[in-house]
């Protein structure tokens, strides 16, 4: 582990001790999920930690991360995979529960991402609120996507207010409104910067941003970031003439002096966009998998969904310098030592 991957905030001092931090985590998690549930009309469901390999249910993320696998003795050593996220499982669940348009589900998602590069924001252990809601064909628009983003951002700001009221040493910093920008617009605005540098620049300027259209190639032939071809719809040309019905919620995080992703979300693929994106990514063979077959056969509802990082949200609202101050995970010894020197006490 090169320590260059660790951001070393200047004059960092944790504003809450470990007891207050644990109490704050409980406060944030309970309050935010209730707000999210109310805003988006979601009901809580129980989710799996692992799924069977080969069904196409696990999230492929950027397509290169290895899932943690293990054999199941009672199933003839069939392989199970620890989930990366529940992007596809949730859509199957919407069908099984018979959820009507305008309503949805949310759950606590716990994952292991063994290939993660560890730093202040990235851990082997991922915990997020995974949510999914049924939509109509007419709602598959950028306007509807923006409305949902604004509702989620409102819930985040209410949670920030409560946290700062409870712990007056914390001062609110999130802007009142979230700014929407397309990834192509970012490229045109900052042509000499990398995608990450573009995110930093726009977040520094606006405070809170939703970047629309992540997964498809931009005018320079590159992607802003990778997305699997079989859950978010990143290739449909929307009413504004640009491709993409998905995106990321990012904020400017003054503690670390960088942009900070809180959520990845989007309107999900329909039959046409799934076939198109599988072809674009050279993954047409996935069309024969269990999940994909059900979608192509019209057995799954149209939906919108995403994931909101639990430890990440707590880290931001409690103004911590390292995600290991929020969650228990495994870290390199030299990172633990350096974090302690910098005042970041890892759990």
Residue numbers annotated as active site: 59, 113, 128, 248, 261, 264
* Helix 310-317 / helix 18-40 crossing angle, nearest 10 deg: 120
Look at the block and give the residue holding tokens 């504004």.
240
> Encoding tokens for residue 66?
């290895």
Q: Strand 258-267 and strand 246-253: pairing?
A: antiparallel
Rounded to a whole number of angstroms, the distance between the first and last alpha carbons of the chain is 19
Q: Which residues contact 23 (CB under 8 A, 6 or more apart)?
A: none
* Angstrom distance (rounded) from CA 343 to CA 18: 12
Alpha carbons 162 and 344: distance in angstroms, whole number = 24
Q: Which of 191, 292, 183 is nearest to 245 (CA)?
A: 183
Query: How large is the C-alpha radius of gyration of the chain?
Result: 20
């Amino acid at each position: 582990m090169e320590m260059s991957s660790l951001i070393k905030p200047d004059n960092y001092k944790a504003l809450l001790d470990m007891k207050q931090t644990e109490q704050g985590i409980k406060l944030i998690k309970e309050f935010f999920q209730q707000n999210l549930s109310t805003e988006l009309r979601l009901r809580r469901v129980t989710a799996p930690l692992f799924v069977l390999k080969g069904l196409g249910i696990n999230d492929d993320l950027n397509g290169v991360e290895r899932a943690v696998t293990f054999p199941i003795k009672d199933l003839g050593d069939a392989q199970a995979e620890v989930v990366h996220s529940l992007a596809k499982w949730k859509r199957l669940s919407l069908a099984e529960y018979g959820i009507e348009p305008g309503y949805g589900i949310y759950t606590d998602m716990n994952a292991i991402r063994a290939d993660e590069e560890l730093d202040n924001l990235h851990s082997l252990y991922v915990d997020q609120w995974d949510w999914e809601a049924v939509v109509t064909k007419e709602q598959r628009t950028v306007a509807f996507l923006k409305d949902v983003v604004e509702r989620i951002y409102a819930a985040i700001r209410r949670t920030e207010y409560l946290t700062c009221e409870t712990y007056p040493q914390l001062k609110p910093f999130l802007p009142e409104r979230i700014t929407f920008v397309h990834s192509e617009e970012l490229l045109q605005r900052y042509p000499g910067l990398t995608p990450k540098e573009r995110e930093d620049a726009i977040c520094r300027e606006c405070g809170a941003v939703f970047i629309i259209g992540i997964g498809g190639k931009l005018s320079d032939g590159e992607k802003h970031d990778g997305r699997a071809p079989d859950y978010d719809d990143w290739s449909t040309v929307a009413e504004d003439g640009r491709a993409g019905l998905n995106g990321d919620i990012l904020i400017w995080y003054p503690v670390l002096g960088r942009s900070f992703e809180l959520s990845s979300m989007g309107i999900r693929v329909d039959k046409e966009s799934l076939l198109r994106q599988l072809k674009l990514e050279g993954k047409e063979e996935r069309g024969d998998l269990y999940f994909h077959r059900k979608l192509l056969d019209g057995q799954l509802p149209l939906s919108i969904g995403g994931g909101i990082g639990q430890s990440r949200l707590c880290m931001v609202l409690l103004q911590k310098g390292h995600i290991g101050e929020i969650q228990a995970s495994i870290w390199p010894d030299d990172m633990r030592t350096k974090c302690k020197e910098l005042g970041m006490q890892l759990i």
